[in-house]
Structure 1
Amino acid sequence: MQKANFSAVTEFILLGFSTFPQQLLPAFFLLILLMYLFTLLGNLLIMGTVWSERSLHAPMYLLLCALSVSEILYTFTIIPRMLADLLSTHHSISSVACAGQMFFSFMFGFTHSFLLTLMGYDRYVAICHPLRYRVLVSPRGCACLVAWSWAGGSVMGLVVTMAIFHLTFCGPNEIHHFACHVPPLLKLACGTDVAVAAKGVGLVCISALLGCCLLIILSYVFIVAAVLRIPSAEGRHKAFSTCVSHLTVVVVHYGFASVVYLQPRGPQSLEADALMGTTYTVLTPFLSPIIFSLRNKQLKDAMKKTFLSKLHPEKI
């Protein structure tokens, strides 16, 4: 059995934005920092509102809290290191730290996809089987599904990380990305197992993500069919309005993911990955709490109530 090969290459160099003009790096740093802080604040605000408002103690908002946790942890895995590299001339990362970053980024990323799938199932049951909602989506059952999502994300992260870092890295050690991303690392690996590992990782990731996407699409096929059977326009609007925020986040999530991971691999594609990767790593988590806060009326009203209670407690 081949030993995990950390001996040949003990550290990698994250090129990231090193090819960008130096005068632009402080502006990139400030922009990404502000978006990161807003992402943290938005997700913490959602979690705090759900925790403090009893009317939101429902499976739908439990899933939303779990989604916020996964986004906070995912961004924490990558963005602080990215910010440090933007202002630093020392861009090296040890092989162990690189493997750790890859594991946690895939773990939280896949957990995020699994949770979005569960939210689609929640909306399907709420609209298509409203009388059985409390049975099919009980708080206890929902908590178990969330736990399985985290377990599934952990397994996916472990599988991908072990497949990549089981390879031999014998130099060079420059990663054309701001994080330990799979395609640039595969370019640095040598040996006969690289093609097998690349196909295996690609098959596992695409199968999992495509499966989640198809389940969400199937949920919305049934949802649309049920909504169209509602006789009044007001009833149809009210039913579908509960799905708008989730559907928007799904489109943003899979839209940016497909741009990053399904783009053609040409000679210059690794250079473009550094910039394209920020759309999925920084922009998607930044937009998610905004979408849920603005498009979910019940959550928006609860946030207003919580905010006003802090400013004018005597009026609440």
Structure 2
Amino acid sequence: MQKNHGSDDGQGGRPRIEMSRRTLLRGSVTTLGLAAGGVLFSGNAAQALDIYNPFSGYRITGTWQDHLNDGSLGGIDYGMGVGTALPAAGAGVITNIPDNGTGGHTVTITHSDGYRTQYMHLSQFLLANGASVGKGGIVGYSGGAVGAPGSGSSTGPHVHWHLITPGGTRVNPLDYLGGGGGGGLPKTSTEQDGVPGPVMWQRTQNWLRIESGYTGPIDGAPGPRTYAALQQNLRNWGYTGPIDGVPGTNTWAALQRLAARNGYTGPIDGVMGPNSWRGFSHFINQDRWN
């Protein structure tokens, strides 16, 4: 798959790294607690930030994990033709950074509480520095053609998108959606990148609340109550072990059976990997679990 991205670590406004994305979950309770507990996501901040995904109709050509694997600070690439209008993910104030290192022409939108979204590899800026923009307002036009002005190190037409916290950490904006981008819970990006995170677990908790009597918080941080409700629900998918809130191979094998009804084609071996999580997330992204 062509990723269509360079390192996207332009020099202007370069954020510092405080911690890395946790490795992919493999069924360990300890690992699940750390990764899904949201080391870059508190739950509350997302609800206060009024952003949405203006690129949901475009194909992801480089996932967050792809960027980390390539040594980048992280980002999401959406493939689109040069000159595509780029809507603001949320209201804010514009800062344009021409020729921002490998990121090329970069527009920064400073939102409430100091959060910033950035789009990289633009072919054209539209608004002046200091201008205010409303959510959905056009801030510039996409670029990314190899060698074109503003493309930086891009290897193909696309836009690169990421979010920077007030503390200066670059994070995945898809983990922060939900404050005002539409009713209910946001969709999880796990369906595309196969990496489980807080939004996936929020949606899972809401599913379990609706179907299995889960009464804990919808916070994206699974613990024994979430896992016990999951085990109870997975009785429908062949789970025969105890309802003890401690997931193991039998729990994950049952979850893979559910995922197999939603596009997963791998083995039912109780070892969750990217394809298992994608199939499950296809199920959990259904509107009825919003």
Pairwise same-fold verdict (TM > 0.5): no
TM bin, normalised by shorter chain, reads under 0.3
The structure carrying a bigger helix percent of its residues is 1
* Pair member with larger Rg: 1
Q: Report the TM-score, using the length of structure 1 for normalisation.
A: 0.22
The structure carrying a bigger strand percent of its residues is 2
**Which structure carries more relative contact order (alpha carbon 8 Å, separation 6+)?**
1
Q: Report the TM-score, using the length of structure 2 for normalisation.
A: 0.24
